[in-house]
Every structure is written in structure tokens, then in C-alpha cells.
Amino acid sequence: MKKLLFILAFLLIATISHAQLKKVLKFSTFYLAANGGTSISDQNVYSVDNSFLFTDTVLTPYDYSLTLGVRKIQRFQYEGSTPFKDGTETSFSDAANIGRNPFEYLFEIDYRRQEGEEYIDQNHFLRYVRDRWFAKVEYVKDGFADIQYYEATQRLRIMSKRKLSFNIGGVQRLAEPYGYEPLEEWIMPSGHIHYTSLAISEGYTVDVYNQEYRDPQGNIVATNAAVWKENVVPVILSDYVARKKSKLDNIIQHSFVVGFDFYHYKKDFWLHSWGNFMPYHYDDGNEFSYHNFVGGQWYDYSGGLIFGYKYNKHLGCFVEGKYNNYWNREWYDFKFGVNYLIF
């Protein structure tokens, strides 16, 4: 899929004229930004051996983010302008179904380290909106929430000229087979897991009599059952799950979707909201289809809300957020607050 997207992008650039390319890039912003700061404080870990006290310090490196992107998304009236893009902005309106321009796009990648954990976030989309229909293709990778998928949607718009409009159509998503749990085959009817047998199948050797536990390379990784169970087995299970999932191909999911968009703006009051609901998903009989893990159909949905109210020249409040629930995996962001201006 990635190769296909690159090929399509290359063909698009190769066939587009200079004038057309200039029009596509007009008012777009390229940005590169780095941010960093102190993470959580280092932690002291204490232990006692033969009545002697030992102290180890768990070091946590500084947090950082490196953001690279290009965007062409017209701001809504409630959004203020900033002199620079620094990579820390949280524009929830980017997730809305409908923008202010017919053609908008975003390509952004973030390399982050937070509390010692490194991950990559990506959000890329192309959106084209007309009076009676719109289409959007998107790639999302949230390393912190552990979610990754490609999505394309084509929808008809209903009452598109009004503040409240509706849409209906189809969604195609390409993702790993969420719901598949490799460890289920090792769980006994009693609910216990056969972790020793799993470890042996992965190449580990267990000598209970001599209290020697060796990895596939023959190195001793534990000298008693407690260390083996508490420290080594969790790593074996995690590696096993990662290896089994890495062998599976992504699967495509076709779904029916209905949605809405609402936008109202005045200088002292604004409300912007949108939502998407997928009640039906086509079952193609794939062994790893999510239908097999939930026993049939399920509901996927997403939405967002941006609300602001200025009670008077001094007092105002705001609520903003977005929420996603795909394959019973949820991830969300929100913020709210009250401002009081003293003259």
C-alpha cells in the first residue's frame, strides 16, 4: 500500500503542469520544528543482598519531538493565527469531515520520545469537497495509542448548504487484523496459560532440577523459578505476540458510514462538531476478519467538538476534543478551560 501511494503521488506530480502545481501548493505551509524538555525525574531503586543496601538509579532521558510536514488547510473563523508552526499545535478541526476549501491536505510526521519511550506519529490526508459529495484518503499512525491504518471514504452530502449537514457512503480501511490474539491458543480451559510449553517451543530450555533457564542461544537468563516467571516469561510472551502478528498481512475492511457536520460561528459564540458512525461491515470470510473475534457486526465511530463562548469582555470558556473508537480500540484528545481577562 505504501509503495502504491508513492507511485500514485509520483505519477500525479509527473503529469501535473507547472501552473497546476503552483495552484495546488499556493497558501500551503512547509514546516520543520524541534521541541524538547525535561522528562520525569530519575528514580532510585533500592535492594538488599546479605544485609547490604544497594541503590540503582533508573535514568529517564529528556523528552523531545521532531516534526516535519506540509499543510494546506484554511483556518476556521474561531482559530487564531500563529507566526510559526512549531509542531506543538493541536488543531482538532483537522479531523472534521468538511473544510473551508474544496481541496485541502496535510502530510505530517512526528518523531517523539516521551518518558523514555520512543515512537512515531503520522497523519496524512487528502480531502476534496463539493456541494453534493466529498472524498478523503487518510493514513493515521498513533504510536502512543498503538493504532495504524489507511482509510478512504466517498460520501454523498445531504443539506450541504445548511449549518447542519449529513453524509452517507462507504469507507475502506486497510490495517492489521485487530482482535487477533496469538496467546489464546496457549490458554487452557482453566484460564491458565501454558507459558513453559510456549517458551520451550520458542527455543528456551528449562532445567527445573538444576534451576537453569536458558534462552535459544544457550545463555542462562534465570537461576530460579521466581526470576524466570516474573522477569523472563513476560519478555517471551511479548516477543511471541510481536512475531506472530508481524507474519500476518494487513486486511481491508469495507464499511457503511453515516455522518454529520455542524458549523455555527459568531464572535462571541461558536460551535463546530462532526461525527461518523459505521454500523455495518462487510464480511469477506477472511480467517482474521474482526467479525470472527466479536461474533458478528460491531460499531465503529468517531467525532469531534469545538465550542467557545464569550460571556462578556472579561469572561469566556471553551471545550475542544476529538474521539475515535475503531475495532474497540479508543484514542482521544481534549481540552477545556475558563479565561478571565483583567483590564
Give pLDDT tens digits for 249-294: 999 999 999 999 999 999 999 999 999 999 999 999 998 999 999 9
* pLDDT computed for residue 87 by the predictor: 66
* pLDDT computed for residue 318 by the predictor: 95
Span 125-145, pLDDT tens digits: 999 999 999 999 999 998 888
28 with 151, same domain: the answer is yes
Sign of the Cα torsion 278, 279, 285, 289 reads: positive
221 with 308, same domain: the answer is no
187 with 135, same domain: the answer is no
45 with 98, same domain: the answer is yes
Question: Which set of grid coordinates corresponds to residue 313?
Answer: 469582555
| Nearest alpha carbon to residue 1 among 250, 327, 286 | 250
Assess whether pLDDT exceeds 70 at residue 3: no
59 with 106, same domain: the answer is yes
60 with 155, same domain: the answer is yes
**What domain range includes position 189?**
182-246
297 with 152, same domain: the answer is yes
- Coil, strand, or helix at residue 341? coil
Assess whether pLDDT exceeds 80 at residue 13: no
pLDDT-based confidence at 6, cuts 50/70/90?
Answer: low
229 with 258, same domain: the answer is no
- Distance, in Å, from the CA atom of 38 to the CA atom of 114, rounded to the nearest integer, reads 10
- Distance, in Å, from the CA atom of 224 to the CA atom of 227, rounded to the nearest integer, reads 6
- Whether the Cβ atoms of residue 232 and residue 212 lie closer than 8 Å to each other: no
112 with 256, same domain: the answer is yes
Phi/psi of residue 10, nearest 5 degrees: -65, -45
78 with 217, same domain: the answer is no
Provide the domain count of the chain. 2
| Nearest alpha carbon to residue 293 among 167, 161, 175, 182 | 182
